[in-house]
């Protein structure tokens, strides 16, 4: 049953988190939402950091105005306390809300009467693939991680044959063969590196090999739910680290992508492993925000330890805001089309596993405006 008979507004707000350059909607999708009977209101300057001008939004049919007063507010990063205060009761909020890592933030949204949908909580099922913002942004991160590694490596990635001699290709190991890891392998391969992938889920070995990479089999499996790896036991972790430490010393570049939702990132790269890497080697740790896969990672910093450069970036997708925003905007639009019927009315069907899974606050009747 429709919950609101008036034409709903979708507000596109400017991101305030330091370093966040993405925007939650792009002009090319404004018309698609308008076709659903939705009115798009954009906060002035919301897309500037992603190279999207106010004029581009207006030409696409959006209006500039107070996006925080919209019925549905879309953004990238979770709102600050001040931003939560700007959301009226009954407002629908869509974004990366970090429900497992920031339960207090979700509680604040609940208290404010906001109906909050966390894009990272969308079930990873076939029907929700087009809404999977985790995957779209992980792909950007995997690509960017390789560029970061290449920038810091004091050697070539590809093999070069010159009059002065032959330069061997860089050896790149990617730990974790999820979306980010597979994109990293593909990108490193395109740059000419000799690539190897590792994951505790043996079934992804075929995907790794399909990208022209070798699969590092350490004989330890940890298949979990929802496409993630389960957390290893203490014994498995100790044996994994011993075998990985030996393997890592043979690579010029190590890119780590191993994450366990809601938990500290597993340690995969020990100090002994770093010590054993070639001088000038590089580690790019995509799990830095949740503690890092490398024991020497410093979140948000790039440091040199034992002659190895260790990068701990916190938000690589924001470093490619144009395409990252386009991909994320498509994810958000797909979710909006599930939440709104063809006549532009909010229809929250909590019997739908996507709606139920993504909603992290305000599942009661709330207070519709």
Backbone angles phi, psi at 15, to 5 degrees: -80, 140
How many angstroms separate the first and last alpha carbons of the chain? 16
Catalytic residue, chosen from 129, 217, 349, 367, is: 129
| Cβ-contact 89, 108 below 8 angstroms | no
Catalytic residue, chosen from 132, 199, 252, 285, is: 132
Catalytic residue, chosen from 43, 135, 137, 138, is: 135
Task: Count how many Cα atoms sit within 13 Å of the Cα of residue 203 in the half-sphere of its side chain.
Answer: 6
Q: 3-state DSSP call for residue 183?
A: helix
Listed in sequence order, the residues at least 6 apart from 287 whose beta carbon sits closer than 8 Å to its beta carbon are 256, 257, 258, 259, 265, 293, 297
DSSP lists the bridge partners of residue 197 as 174, 215
CA–CA separation, 369 and 141 (whole Å): 38
Q: Which two tokens stand for residue 300?
A: 């948000």
Q: Which two tokens stand for residue 55?
A: 């004029």
Catalytic residue, chosen from 228, 237, 272, 368, is: 228
Clarify whether 252 is annotated catalytic: no
Clarify whether 124 is annotated catalytic: yes
Clarify whether 53 is annotated catalytic: no
Catalytic residue, chosen from 32, 124, 230, 237, is: 124
Clarify whether 228 is annotated catalytic: yes
Clarify whether 207 is annotated catalytic: no
| Catalytic residue list | 124, 129, 132, 135, 228
């Amino acid at each position: 049953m429709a919950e609101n008979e008036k034409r709903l507004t979708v507000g596109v707000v400017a991101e305030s988190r330091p370093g966040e350059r993405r925007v939650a909607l792009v002009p090319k999708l404004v018309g698609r939402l308008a076709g659903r009977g939705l009115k798009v209101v954009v906060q002035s300057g919301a897309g500037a950091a992603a190279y999207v001008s106010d004029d581009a939004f207006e030409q696409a049919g959006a209006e500039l105005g107070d996006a925080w007063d919209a019925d549905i507010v879309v953004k990238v990063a979770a709102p600050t306390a001040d931003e939560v205060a700007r959301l009226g009761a009954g407002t629908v909020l869509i974004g990366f809300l970090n429900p497992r890592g920031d339960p207090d933030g979700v509680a604040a949204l609940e208290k404010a009467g906001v109906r909050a949908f966390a894009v990272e909580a969308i079930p990873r099922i076939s029907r929700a693939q087009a809404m999977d913002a985790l995957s779209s942004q992980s792909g950007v991160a995997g690509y960017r991680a390789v560029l970061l590694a290449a920038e810091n490596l004091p050697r070539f990635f590809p093999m070069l044959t010159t009059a002065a001699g032959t330069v061997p290709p860089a050896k790149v190991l990617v730990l974790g063969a999820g979306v980010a890891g597979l994109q990293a392998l593909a990108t490193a391969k395109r740059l000419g590196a000799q690539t190897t992938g590792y994951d505790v889920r043996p079934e992804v070995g075929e995907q790794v090999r399909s990208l022209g990479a070798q699969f590092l089999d350490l004989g330890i499996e940890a298949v979990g739910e929802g496409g993630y790896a389960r957390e290893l036991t203490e014994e498995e972790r100790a044996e994994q680290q011993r075998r990985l430490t030996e393997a890592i010393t043979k690579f010029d570049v190590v890119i780590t992508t191993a994450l366990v939702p809601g938990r500290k990132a597993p340690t995969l790269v020990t100090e002994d492993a770093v010590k054993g890497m070639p001088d000038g080697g590089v580690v790019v740790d995509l799990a830095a925000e949740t503690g890092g896969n490398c024991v020497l990672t410093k979140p948000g910093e790039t440091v040199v330890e034992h002659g190895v450069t260790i990068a701990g970036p916190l938000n690589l997708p924001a470093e490619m805001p144009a395409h990252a925003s386009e991909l994320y905007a498509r994810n958000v639009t797909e979710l909006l089309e599930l939440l709104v019927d063809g006549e532009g009315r909010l229809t929250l069907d909590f019997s739908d596993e996507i709606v139920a899974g993504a909603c992290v606050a305000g599942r009661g009747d709330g207070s519709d405006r």
